[in-house]
Amino acid sequence: MTEVAQHKGIEKIAELVKDIRIAMLVTLDERGRPRSRPMGTQNVPFDGTLWFLTDKNSGKLQEIAQNPVVNVVYASTSAESYLSISGEAEVLNDREKIREFWNPFLRAWFESAEDPDIRILRIRVDEAEYWDTPGGKVASLFSLVKGAITGSDASSKHDDHQKVQL
C-alpha cells in the first residue's frame, strides 16, 4: 500500500463521516449475535480513529469487553453515501478528553463532563468500505485494510475496489 493511497482513503472516509453525525455501532452479544445501537460521533477530524462517548454501565461495553471487534455503519440517504467501518474498540476513562468532547447535546444523557459514568469509546479502524452514489449509481467502493491482516497490496485490486493499509 502506498502512503498516498492510504491518505486518500482516510480523506474520503473523513469527508463522509463529517456530514453524518449518527452512526449505528454493531457489537456481538454473549451468544455471538450482532447488536446495533445509534451513537453520536464526536466532532473531530477522522484520522483512522472514531470517538464516541457512552455510559460506563452500558451493555455495549460488556460486549466489547468480551469481543472488542466492532462495526460502525454510517448512511446518508440524501447524499446517497454509505459507509461500513470495522475496527477494534477500546474503552477509556480520559477525563481531559471527555471535557474536550463535551457539548450541550450530551446533556440528554449526562449532567456535565464531570459525570463519573462517562467513558470514551475509541475505535481504531482496520477496514472501511464506502459507497458514494451521486447520480443514483454506485460511483466508488473503497476498502482500507491493515496489511498485517490481509497481507495484500494495491496490486490485488479489482474492479473499483481498492485496499489501503492503515
- Specify burial of residue 28 (Cβ count, 10 A radius: 0-12, 13-18, 19+): middle
Residue 48: give its domain's CATH number: 2.30.110.10
Q: Cα dihedral angle (58, 66, 92, 119), rounded to 10 degrees?
A: 0
Q: What per-residue confidence (pLDDT) applies to 133?
A: 65
Q: Print the domain residue range for 53.
A: 3-164
| Closest of 35, 19, 18 to residue 27, by C-alpha | 35
Taking the CB of residue 83, how many other CB atoms lie within 10 A of it? 21
Q: pLDDT, tens digit, for every residue of 108-144?
A: 999 999 999 999 999 999 888 888 765 544 443 444 4
In the chain, the number of structural domains is 1
Q: pLDDT, tens digit, for every residue of 32-49?
A: 999 999 999 888 889 999
Average pLDDT, the chain: 80
Reading the block at residue 13, the C-alpha cell is 472516509
